[in-house]
């Protein structure tokens, strides 16, 4: 035997942890930690009672899941802490004010903040923070609340996979086992049209077809620059900044191009508005300079580039923390290979240490320049704990569920069934599976955990491009995550529409579906016309 038999009963049993997860979140309104724990326990029971796993097998699989979760969560914890620390020191306010003050043109302001700045924030953190920071700035500039939230939601979707210092990208790369040298550049290429179209959609939300036509030249040029930067960084082995740097370049390009003939003069109803006031409504007697506020991220970019120098990589290659896991074979003949240095935390090739170094250096500079607040570090720690506790438990349990399913043959069984049902149309279905995962969990990372292996095994069963399908899974989850109820709730709360989330959903859903359909078309084209590029 080489694993569980493929029949309807086995397929339904293998699918039941995923079905439970979806039903618990969408129908029973359970939290992600509770739903993830229930799905993991069900996967354990099925592995032991139905799919021939021994107790040490599920223990090994769960431990591997915990190792993978630690790899991802250390990125999340450090990136969110850095953001919260800088926010406590008024640095985020200074960055936002600088963005708002670059232009008085409302369309350009919408693009700068809704498309560029929200994506920059997503590059360094997540958890709805891009919407929580960007939407109030747009409202202060005079944009209607629902549209302000919608622009921030739709505008940052392209930045999610490589955002949060690459946490979602590292998840899909580790779950699928595809080498980063193959996956990251391919994913960046597929993201290119999505980046440009995201900017076009933000313009359309702001002012309809007239705004779209007016902004098209600067959006295309800025978007192309952003896409090129993403590809270069992905190819160079720096996916952790492959959203942050393109967003910064995009904002700079928009600000410069808005002063050229590429942007026609604004209509009368696009009258200039004053730049937004400080986030707390009170002027700061000593506003922080933009470069000082932006310094932690400049340090992070510099450290990321430094870590890619061959001599440096070689010198620190063996400075890491990781675990080895043994091979095993279930009673039904499903073989799992041994793993050495599983999900390693490397000193300069993992984002978390780089973020930590940036925090330490920045804190010293802020102390020397008189910008440090005595309680800032403690307040940022408390806020980070509150923001990430639920996600930490949810990610951990979902990852353990996914690895238990993978290491006991359930994921392969599911993939064979999906392959038989979808056939040649599977590439078009793939991004919607990613969308489903992020919609129900509110997280690109969770979607990759839940469905990454399923998508990979289905691609293998159909003998189609595994790299493309794995990329499309994460891209669909990335652009779909802003449609998740959790993020829309954040958007509604910060713009004063709590209880009226439907107003935001009505705007956001059609635009998100446009992006997912675009990805589906891309997947079909690449797999049908360029099959060698997708393997």
pLDDT in tens, the chain (535 residues): 467 777 889 999 998 998 898 788 667 878 778 888 999 999 999 999 999 999 999 999 999 989 888 877 887 788 778 878 988 998 877 877 777 677 888 899 999 999 998 898 888 766 666 877 788 778 777 789 889 989 999 999 999 999 877 888 988 998 888 988 899 999 999 999 999 999 999 999 999 999 999 999 999 999 999 999 999 999 998 898 899 999 999 999 999 999 999 988 866 545 445 444 444 444 445 678 888 988 887 887 788 778 767 788 788 878 888 899 999 999 998 888 898 888 888 887 777 888 899 899 999 999 999 999 889 999 999 988 887 787 788 778 877 888 898 889 887 788 778 777 877 888 998 998 888 778 766 678 878 887 888 888 888 888 888 999 999 999 999 998 888 766 776 667 656 676 676 788 788 889 999 999 999 999 999 998 877 666 6
Are residues 477 and 455 in contact, defined by beta-carbon separation less than 8 angstroms? Answer: no
| Nearest CA among 472, 448, 481 for reference residue 68 | 448
pLDDT of residue 281: 43
3-state secondary structure of 341: strand
* The residue to which tokens 């109820």 are assigned: 485
What is the per-residue pLDDT for 282?
Answer: 43
CA distances from 443 to 32, 132, 479, 480, 484 (A): 10, 16, 11, 9, 8
pLDDT of residue 205: 95
Instruction: Give the dihedral sign, CA 142/147/150/154.
Output: negative
Contacts 24+ apart (CB under 8 A), 364-369: 365/292, 365/295, 366/89, 366/292, 369/292
Residue 441 and residue 451 in contact, taking contact as beta carbons nearer than 8 Å: no
Q: Are 510 and 469 in contact (CB under 8 A)?
A: no
Pairing of strands 339-346, 320-325: antiparallel
H-helix segments, 236-258 = 244-257
CA 50 – CA 143 distance, rounded (Å): 56
Reference 88, options 360, 373, 290, 386; nearest CA is 373
pLDDT at position 26, please? 63
DSSP 421: H
In eight-state DSSP terms, residue 126 is -
Q: How many whole angstroms separate alpha carbon 99 and alpha carbon 103?
A: 8
Alpha helices in 369-500 (DSSP H): 376-407, 410-422, 426-441, 444-462, 466-480, 485-494
pLDDT at residue 268 in the model = 52
pLDDT in tens, 69-82: 887 788 778 877 88
Reported as a single tens digit per residue, the pLDDT across 196-225 is: 999 999 999 999 999 999 999 999 999 999
Please, what is the angle between helix 55-88 and helix 91-100, to 10°?
A: 70
Give the 3-state secondary structure of residue 325. strand
Neighbours of 500 (CB within 10 A): 13
Q: How far apart are CA 249 and CA 112, in angstroms?
A: 11
Q: What SS3 class is residue 524?
A: helix
Can you say whether the dihedral through the CA atoms of 27, 28, 33, 35 is positive or negative?
A: negative
Q: Give the residue extent of every domain in the chain.
A: 8-265+288-534
**Is 440:25 a contact under the CB 8 Å cutoff?**
yes
Tell me how far apart the alpha carbons of residues 58 and 441 are, in angstroms, rounded to a whole number: 24
pLDDT recorded at residue 509 = 86
Residue 82 exposure: Cα atoms within 13 Å on the Cβ side:
34
pTM score of the predicted model: 0.72
Residue 396, pLDDT score: 85
């Amino acid at each position: 035997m080489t694993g569980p038999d493929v029949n309807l009963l086995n397929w339904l049993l293998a699918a039941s942890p995923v079905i439970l997860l979806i039903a618990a979140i969408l129908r029973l309104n359970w939290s992600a930690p509770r739903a993830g724990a229930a799905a993991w326990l069900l996967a354990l029971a099925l592995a032991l009672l139905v799919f021939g796993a021994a107790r040490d097998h599920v223990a090994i699989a769960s431990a591997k899941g915990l190792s993978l979760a630690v790899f991802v969560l250390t990125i999340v914890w450090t990136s969110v802490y850095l953001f919260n620390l800088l926010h406590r020191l008024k640095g985020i306010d200074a960055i936002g004010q600088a963005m708002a003050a670059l232009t008085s043109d409302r369309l350009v302001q919408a693009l700068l903040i809704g498309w560029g700045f929200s994506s920059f924030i997503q590059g360094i953190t997540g958890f709805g923070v891009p919407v929580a920071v960007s939407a109030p700035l747009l409202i202060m500039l005079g944009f209607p609340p629902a549209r302000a939230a919608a622009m921030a939601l739709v505008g940052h979707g392209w930045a999610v996979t490589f955002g949060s210092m690459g946490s979602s990208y590292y998840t899909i790369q580790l779950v699928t086992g595809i080498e980063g040298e193959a996956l990251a550049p391919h994913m960046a290429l597929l993201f290119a049209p999505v980046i440009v179209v995201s900017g076009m959609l933000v313009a359309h939300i702001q002012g309809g077809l007239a705004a779209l036509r007016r902004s098209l030249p600067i959006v295309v040029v800025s978007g192309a620059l952003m896409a090129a930067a993403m590809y270069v960084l992905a190819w160079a082995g720096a996916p952790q900044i492959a959203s942050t740097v393109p967003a910064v370049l995009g904002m700079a390009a928009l600000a410069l191009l808005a002063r050229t003939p590429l942007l026609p003069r604004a209509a009368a109803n696009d009258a200039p508005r004053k730049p937004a006031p400080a986030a707390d409504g009170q002027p700061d007697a000593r506003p922080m300079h933009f470069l000082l506020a932006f310094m932690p991220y400049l340090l992070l970019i510099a450290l990321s580039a430094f870590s890619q120098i061959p001599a440096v990589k070689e010198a620190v290659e063996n400075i890491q923390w990781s675990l080895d896991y043994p091979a095993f074979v279930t009673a039904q003949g499903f073989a799992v290979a041994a793993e050495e240095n599983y999900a390693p935390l490397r000193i300069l090739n993992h984002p978390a240490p780089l973020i930590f170094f940036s925090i330490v250096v920045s804190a010293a500079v802020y102390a020397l320049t008189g910008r440090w607040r005595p309680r800032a570090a403690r307040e940022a720690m408390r806020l980070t704990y509150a923001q990430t506790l639920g996600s930490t438990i949810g990610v951990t349990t979902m990852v353990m569920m996914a690895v238990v399913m993978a290491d006991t043959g359930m994921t392969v069984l599911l993939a064979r069934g999906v392959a038989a049902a979808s056939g040649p149309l599977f590439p078009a279905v793939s991004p919607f599976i990613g969308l489903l995962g992020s919609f129900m969990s509110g997280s690109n990372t969770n979607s990759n955990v839940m469905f990454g292996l399923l998508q990979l095994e289905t691609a293998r069963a159909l003998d189609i491009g595994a790299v493309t399908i794995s990329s499309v899974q994460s891209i669909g989850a990335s652009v779909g995550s802003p449609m998740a109820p959790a993020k829309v709730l954040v958007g509604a709360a910060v713009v004063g529409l709590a209880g009226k989330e439907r107003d935001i959903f009505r705007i956001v859903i059609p635009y998100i579906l446009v992006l997912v359909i675009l990805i589906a078309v891309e997947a079909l084209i690449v797999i049908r016309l360029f099959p060698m590029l997708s393997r």
